Amino acid sequence: MSYTLHYLESSAARQGPEISVLVNCLLQDAIRLGASDLHIEPWEETIAVRARVNGVLTEVVHLPLGLMEKISARFKVLANLPTYQTGLPLDGKILCGPELDHVQVRLSIFPTTRGEKIVLRLFDPQDRRFDLDELGFDPDTLHGLKRLLRRTSGLLLFTGPTGSGKTTAMYSALCHIVQREGSAVSISTVEDPVEFNLPRVSQTQINPAQDFTYATALRSILRQDPQVIMVGEIRDAETAAIAVQAGLTGHLVISTIHAGVSAGAFTRLIHMEIEPFMLASSVLGVMGLRLVRRVCPQCARPYEPEPSVLKVVPEEWRPHARFRRGTGCEHCRQTGYSGRMPVCELLVVTEPFREAVLKRLPTSALEEIAVQNGMRTLWQNGLQAALQGQTTLEEVVRMVAASIL
């Protein structure tokens, strides 16, 4: 039973729950489930509380609709936000105490027609070790990424949807450089927001309300004598132009950009009016990332996927397949999955690929050339993970195929 349900059924809550205790119970439930996000949303007749666990939203509890304003006010107090403001979006941070394992919470409150919707993003500092070797990358990808991180200039990009592990990968890359170079390297970041404080790294959070944007910060940071620069996201043409220029002038720039596949990053940057010859000269590589749920090791059993799903697997691969899925147990809370693992593709820019970029070839042609030069695609690596029984074929179709087609 959840902490929230247990409290609501206790004698202490029968005369009306104490909101501070109820909010603590909600946070404890999210922590117990290992949730990345907690959604508290007024529905037609109840407050729906849902947790995002391993990338999937699951219902935790339903609360009386009349508690919404009190719960919202309590979270505002915890985040030092004005409790009287109800018609505008609000963002804040909550630093939990030892009773909640010192978890850090990013709070977002958004007005809806039924009341304020609350979304909490949870970060556990004790559970975050930014170690490239521990992220679960396959040996070839890990070796290729480390080779790129030895370069002293150029642009290294990460692509993928929200929640695909891009920030963790970038933080781990920075920590790898710090461990390798020690105090001999100067690293600066520009982020929105700064999610974790990294050792020996100068981190800056942008503030668009005061016109402190990615482009403004990046332009100024170049005067700080950095060797490595991390930009949280390339969102606009101005930021893209400065990042590319920085990569050409003796800085290693690490950033993210939204694109379906790695090769799509070049098309996206060209649409931002970055000249192809500058991209061909500055971009070192692009890593595409997805996170798929890992089969629970405690209840994993062999299985045969449905024919409609199995048809995505090439005939010649099927005899070697070891498909597995979890049947559900206490360890995985009856889901059949326990934790997540990365599926990735690393596009290393080679001379043939540079020539293709200069010719402004479409994304599909760029991807084909990258494959010819040794890149394994997201889809190929996802299928490989399913064939080895690390995840299910259905999960790969859901998370990888749907996002690249």
At 403 the pLDDT is: 58
CA distance 365 to 355: 12
Please give the model's pTM, rounded to 2 decimal places: 0.89
The candidate with the shortest Cα–Cα distance to 395, out of 331, 342, 346, is 342
For the chain, list the domains and their CATH numbers: 3-123 (3.30.450.90), 139-403 (3.40.50.300)
pLDDT at 179 over 90: yes
3-state secondary structure of 217: helix
DSSP 301-363: EE----HHHHTTS-GGGGGG---EEE---TTTTTSSEEEEEEEEEEEE--HHHHHHHHTT--H
At 371 the pLDDT is: 96
CA distance 389 to 383: 10
Name the band, by pLDDT with cuts 50, 70 and 90, for residue 2: confident
Residue whose entry in the numeric block shows the structure tokens 């949730």: 35
The candidate with the shortest Cα–Cα distance to 375, out of 367, 385, 384, 365, is 367
Name the band, by pLDDT with cuts 50, 70 and 90, for residue 127: low
At 13 the pLDDT is: 66
Q: What is the mean pLDDT of residues 115-139?
A: 89
DSSP 100-150: GTT-EEEEEEEEETTEEEEEEEEE-GGG----GGGS---HHHHHHHHHHHT
Q: 403: part of which helix (H) or strand (E)?
A: helix 402-404
Residue whose entry in the numeric block shows the structure tokens 């029968």: 14
Q: What is the mean pLDDT of residues 323-339?
A: 94
DSSP 18-70: -HHHHHHHHHHHHHHHT-SEEEEEE-SSEEEEEEEETTEEEEEEEEEGGGHHH
At 1 the pLDDT is: 60
At 98 the pLDDT is: 87
pLDDT at 114 over 70: yes
Q: Which two tokens stand for residue 49?
A: 């509380």
State what percent of residues in the chain have pLDDT above 90: 86
pLDDT at 404 over 70: no
Q: What is the mean pLDDT of residues 205-215?
A: 92
Dihedral, CA of residue 349, residue 352, residue 357 and residue 363, to nearest 10: -80
pLDDT at 365 over 70: yes
The residues near 326 (Cβ < 8 Å, ≥ 6 apart) are 295, 296, 298, 299, 300, 301, 332, 335, 336, 337, 338
Q: pLDDT tens across 235-269, in order? A: 999 999 999 999 999 999 999 999 989 999 999 99
pLDDT at 124 over 90: no
CA distance 30 to 52: 9
CA distance 140 to 339: 23
pLDDT at 227 over 90: yes
Q: Which two tokens stand for residue 360?
A: 């402004």
pLDDT at 363 over 90: yes
More reliable by pLDDT, 372 or 163:
372
Q: Which two tokens stand for residue 170?
A: 């970038």
Q: What is the mean pLDDT of residues 85-94?
A: 92
Residue whose entry in the numeric block shows the structure tokens 């010719």: 359
CA distance 328 to 336: 4
Q: What is the mean pLDDT of residues 11-37?
A: 88
Q: Which two tokens stand for residue 309?
A: 């799903």
Name the band, by pLDDT with cuts 50, 70 and 90, for residue 228: very high
